[in-house]
Chains A and B, each alone.
Chain A
């Protein structure tokens, strides 16, 4: 099962910041948080990932709380093309050999003009 919980849907006005929350209360000390998004019928696209410090790249910022139990993905100026399903993922250790990205249902972000 996925180790994260996200709201099923969010709305955002074009040009405004979109703040997508994620809860990962069972995360352990060396586990990263990944964010992906999927635009209809395409493969998921990597956005950003982080361990404990806040991260920023050309697409988004990731804010991780000090206790690491939750995080927020920020799209600073949302556009219509940002309408997608956003997945927050903590890789799951299935066996001794490694981890896997287990997807939950994600958050459907709808950006409107």
Chain B
């Protein structure tokens, strides 16, 4: 079966712009989580969506937002980009998103802010 698909794979944006990243989960999975990975901070949890509702949120500013559609596909948006937002953004899908079900990660979107 198809895995988790993230688009685009690479993106270059200018400071002050906004960006939207997309994640299509494994068919049937209802939970989508987003992570930011940088060399300095490692993998950091952004937020999780389940059945179109944000269920968990990490410690990121309001410039980072997301949404989930009825088909479980999810998007995350970063507004007013800063140089420090350059990172690998990963999403993970899970059947229910609870502790006894596995999470499958996508290959990520590499965002570079210049």
Contact = CB atoms under 8 A, between A and B. Distances in A.
Q: Which 8 A-B pairs have the closest CB atoms?
A: A43-B105, A103-B43, A91-B99, A97-B55, A94-B56, A44-B105, A99-B99, A100-B56
Interface string A91-113: 10011011111111110000000
A106 B42 CA distance: 10
A6 to B, nearest CB: 12
Contact of B42 (A42, A94, A103): A103
B64 interface: no
B42 A46 contact: no
B48 A41 contact: no
A100 B44 CA distance: 11
A25 interface: no
Contacts of A45: 105
Interface residues of B, number: 29
B62 to A, nearest CB: 17
Contact of B100 (A32, A44, A102): A32
Given A97-B55, A98-B55, A105 B42 contact: yes
Interface residues of A, number: 28
Q: Is the interface of A mostly helix, strand, loop or mixed?
A: loop
Interface of A: 30-32, 34, 36, 38, 41-46, 49, 51, 87, 91, 94-95, 97-106
A98 B56 contact: yes
B88 A41 contact: yes
A43 B43 contact: no
Given A100-B48, A101-B33, A31 B43 contact: no
B8 interface: no
A97 B42 CA distance: 25
Given A46-B102, A97-B50, 10 more contacts: A32-B99, A34-B103, A36-B105, A43-B105, A98-B56, A100-B45, A100-B58, A101-B33, A103-B42, A103-B43
Interface string B88-107: 10101000011110111111
